[in-house]
Amino acid sequence: MTEARAVGNFETAGKPYAAFSALALERIEVGGSALEIAFAPSEQVLPRIAIIDWITHSARATAAYYGQFPVKDVQILVMPVAGAGVRGGTSYGYGGAAIKVSVGSSSAERHFARDWVMTHEMVHLALPGMRSPQHWLEEGIATYVEPIARAQAGQLSAAQVWVSMVDGLPNGLPQAGDGGLDHTPTWGRTYWGGALFCLLADIEIRQRTANKRGLQDALRAINRAGGNIEKSWPISRVLRIGDEATGVPVLQETYKRMKAAPADVELDKLWAQLGVERSGGTVTFNEDAPLAAIRRAITEKRG
Ligand SMILES: [Zn+2]
**Which residue type, as a one-letter code, is found at position 208?**
R
Is 14 domain-assigned? no
Given 124, 141, 175, which residue is the final one in a domain? Answer: 124
Regarding whether 31 and 106 lie in a shared domain, the answer is yes
Tell me what the pLDDT averaged over the chain comes to.
Answer: 92
Does position 282 have pLDDT exceeding 60, yes or no? yes
Regarding whether 246 and 176 lie in a shared domain, the answer is yes
Regarding whether 91 and 136 lie in a shared domain, the answer is no
CA 138 to ligand 1 centroid distance, Å: 7
The Cα-based distances of 202 to 79, 130, 217, 242, 247 in angstroms read 35, 20, 10, 11, 13
- Our measurement of the distance from residue 144's CA atom to the centroid of its chain's CA atoms, rounded to an integer in Å, reads 6
Regarding whether 149 and 287 lie in a shared domain, the answer is yes
Average pLDDT in the 132-160 region? 97
Positive or negative: CA dihedral 254, 256, 259, 263 = negative
Q: Could you give the CA distance from residue 15 to residue 37 in angstroms, rounded to a whole number? A: 14
CA 90 to ligand 1 centroid distance, Å: 7
Range of the domain at 181: 132-299
Helices 292-299, 267-274: crossing angle, 10 deg rounding:
90
CA 92 to ligand 1 centroid distance, Å: 11
Is 8 domain-assigned? no
CA 287 to ligand 1 centroid distance, Å: 33
CA 130 to ligand 1 centroid distance, Å: 13
Is 12 domain-assigned? no
CA 41 to ligand 1 centroid distance, Å: 25
Regarding whether 173 and 77 lie in a shared domain, the answer is no
* CATH at residue 116: 1.10.390.10
Number of domain units in the chain = 2
Q: Tens digit of pLDDT for each residue in 181-239?
A: 999 999 999 999 999 999 999 999 999 999 999 999 999 999 999 999 999 999 999 99
Regarding whether 222 and 169 lie in a shared domain, the answer is yes
Does position 23 have pLDDT exceeding 90, yes or no? no
Regarding whether 185 and 117 lie in a shared domain, the answer is no
Is 5 domain-assigned? no
Q: Could you give the CA distance from residue 215 to residue 208 in angstroms, rounded to a whole number? A: 12
Does position 273 have pLDDT exceeding 80, yes or no? yes
**Cβ-count burial of 214 within 10 angstroms (0-12 exposed, 13-18 middle, 19+ buried)?**
buried
Regarding whether 141 and 118 lie in a shared domain, the answer is no
Is 106 domain-assigned? yes
pLDDT reported for residue 254: 98
Q: Tens digit of pLDDT for each residue in 29-81?
A: 999 999 999 999 888 888 999 999 999 999 999 999 999 999 999 999 999 99
Give the rounded percent of residues in the chain with a pLDDT score beyond 90: 85
Q: Could you give the CA distance from residue 101 to residue 287 in angstroms, rounded to a whole number? A: 39
Regarding whether 174 and 277 lie in a shared domain, the answer is yes
Is 220 domain-assigned? yes
Regarding whether 253 and 116 lie in a shared domain, the answer is no
pLDDT reported for residue 24: 73
Does position 1 have pLDDT exceeding 60, yes or no? no
